[in-house]
Amino acid sequence: MRRHIGIMFGHWLGLVLMAGSLIFFGQAVLSTNRAFATGGDNFDDNSRDVTKWGDDIIVHGKCALNEVNGRLEYTCQSASNWDEVHRPWTLTELPYNADWEMQIDITNETQLTMNDQWTGFGIGIISPYTYENAIYADLYASTYGGLPAIKGFWAELDTPSDYFGTGTGSLGVTVGAIRLLFNSATKVVSVYYDSDPSNGYQWIQYASFGVGGSGGYDGTANWGLAETDKFLPFIYGYSEITNIASGQLYGDNFQETGGVVPPPPDPPEGTIGTEITINGSSFGTKKGKALIGSVAAKVLTWADGTITCMVTKVPLPAGVYAVTISPQPYKTHPRLILNPGFAVKNPEIVLVSPDNGIPDTEVTITGNFVSTKKGKVYLEYLDKGQTKKKNCKVTYWYMNPTNGASEIRFIVPKLNSGDYTLKVTNKVGTAQTTFTVDPSP
């Protein structure tokens, strides 16, 4: 048999927006009807739905997954001893602390003509921490052991050091369906097949894998997951020493129930002077435009896979704005809107040290997002019912352009002793706290 290996986690991301280092994937029979799915795809639109699926990951070889004829097809035009491609399901994640299931209809009509060939199409999950902890289940054809080909269902639990595989043996089938069912109490993934899903699903269990250190009768591993962790699901095609044309190996009617929609990521944040890196693909090599809201950022570098920008102006007021990339030439390249956008931040005061002092004392403010353009510091007070302010001499003003960490130093002005409102302002907004002017000695 064979063992699956090798997914690079970085490929689970599509466009990535970063501000500095902050990122801007036993034979019991069970009869059921088609279950209502939390999410699914029947592939009838014949194109990858970017709201549901991440970019395809070529694990090895020159294979591909394409949506054609209302299904997801695996093809391999230049066979090697290992060809494999994955399509990660990104609409929902599968929780470790709750029950879930997923399933897919499969057709495998590949024709094997020599020894040691293998083809398969199926579904699987990986650990959120390492691709080497994985479960795979597929409808396969194999000539391991010689011709004629064995055709049946296979399931496999992988760990970094070992794997546990089991199958139905030869059922002589070319169509079927596979179902993974997770029991959150026992931490066991049960694997089922149906060799004729056309008349309603009649599920037969053929594998059981424990991922919490116990419970699986075909294999057990301890993936070391916390209750708050979530599995990453995917569809895959696999082949060995086999050219596969369109229409021979494909899946349809993918469904999952119990998945959890991941919360939207926090947007990268910054202000005037923040540096942004945008990672992706197909930006072209000619410098285009990068907008935050409707305000252009200064493009520092532009390459096909990476853009760096400097925020020189920002839309107001502070808040989250869409980031739009317009590659050159504008007439032929679409505008790309990046989610979750960019958060324009008001200045923040974290600490004033000291928080009191006599006039002419130097005081240090540490905070965030004061911008790289020097603003103002002043003390505000009431005088005869009117608000007045006294500007402070600023001796130092700095913001780290990659993470927003800031420091300001100012001199306490000549004022009567008492409590004042200390304010820091820039072109975006204002931050405030309290400061006490002590009596002069």
- Provide the CATH number for the domain around residue 73: 2.60.120.200
pLDDT at 265: 77
Looking at the structure of the chain, the number of domains it has is: 3
Is the per-residue pLDDT at 344 higher than 60? yes
More confident of the two residues 260 and 379: 379
Please tell me the pTM assigned to this model.
0.65
Task: Give the model confidence (pLDDT) of 108-137 as tens digits.
Answer: 999 999 999 999 999 999 999 988 999 999
Residue 410 lies in a domain: yes
Residue 317 lies in a domain: yes
Measured between alpha carbons, how far is 122 from 153 in angstroms, rounded to an integer?
9
208 and 336 both lie in a single domain: no
175 and 288 both lie in a single domain: no
90 and 234 both lie in a single domain: yes
User: What secondary structure does DSSP assign to 209-258, as a single string?
Assistant: EESBSS--SSEE-B----TT-EEEEEEEEEEES--B-TTSEEEEEEEEES
53 and 99 both lie in a single domain: yes
Burial 65-104 (b: 16+ CB within 10 A, else e): bbbeeebbbbbbeebeebbbbbbbbbbbbbbbeeebbbbb
Residue 262 lies in a domain: no
Is the per-residue pLDDT at 32 higher than 60? no
56 and 194 both lie in a single domain: yes
Specify whether the CB–CB gap between 103 and 238 falls below 8 A: no
Is the per-residue pLDDT at 417 higher than 70? yes
Residue 417 lies in a domain: yes
Question: Which of 254-263, 346-355, 410-419 bottoms out in mean pLDDT, i.e. has the lowest?
Answer: 254-263
Query: Of 218, 236, 257, which residue constitutes the final position of a domain?
Result: 257
Query: Of 299, 318, 344, which residue constitutes the final position of a domain?
Result: 344
Question: Which of 17-21, 197-201, 312-316 bottoms out in mean pLDDT, i.e. has the lowest?
Answer: 17-21
Is the per-residue pLDDT at 3 higher than 60? no
86 and 226 both lie in a single domain: yes
329 and 352 both lie in a single domain: no
pLDDT at 47: 92
Measured between alpha carbons, how far is 368 from 348 in angstroms, rounded to an integer?
5
Measured between alpha carbons, how far is 81 from 59 in angstroms, rounded to an integer?
13
pLDDT at 294: 92
323 and 420 both lie in a single domain: no
Residue 48 lies in a domain: yes
Nearest to 193 by CA among 87, 106, 71: 106
Task: Give 332's pLDDT tier (boundaries 50, 70, 90).
Answer: low
Measured between alpha carbons, how far is 139 from 58 in angstroms, rounded to an integer?
20
As a whole number, the mean pLDDT across the chain is: 89
More confident of the two residues 155 and 306: 155
Specify whether the CB–CB gap between 152 and 168 falls below 8 A: yes
φ, ψ of residue 434 in degrees (nearest 5): -105, 150
pLDDT at 5: 39
Residue 44 lies in a domain: yes
H/E stretch holding 322 reads strand 319-326
84 and 163 both lie in a single domain: yes
Measured between alpha carbons, how far is 77 from 72 in angstroms, rounded to an integer?
16
Is the per-residue pLDDT at 17 higher than 80? no
Is the per-residue pLDDT at 25 higher than 70? no
133 and 276 both lie in a single domain: no
Instruction: Over range 390-409, report the average pLDDT.
Output: 97
H/E stretch holding 36 reads none
Is the per-residue pLDDT at 174 higher than 80? yes
Measured between alpha carbons, how far is 428 from 63 in angstroms, rounded to an integer?
50
φ, ψ of residue 74 in degrees (nearest 5): -105, 130
Task: Give the model confidence (pLDDT) of 211-245 as tens digits.
Answer: 999 999 999 999 999 999 999 999 999 999 999 99
pLDDT at 304: 85
Domain span including residue 391:
348-437
Residue 20 lies in a domain: no
Question: Which of 47-51, 298-302, 404-408 bottoms out in mean pLDDT, i.e. has the lowest?
Answer: 47-51
pLDDT at 8: 32
pLDDT at 35: 35
CATH number of the domain enclosing 378: 2.60.40.10
Question: Is the sign of the CA dihedral 311, 316, 319, 324 positive or negative?
Answer: negative
Query: Of 283, 309, 344, which residue constitutes the final position of a domain?
Result: 344
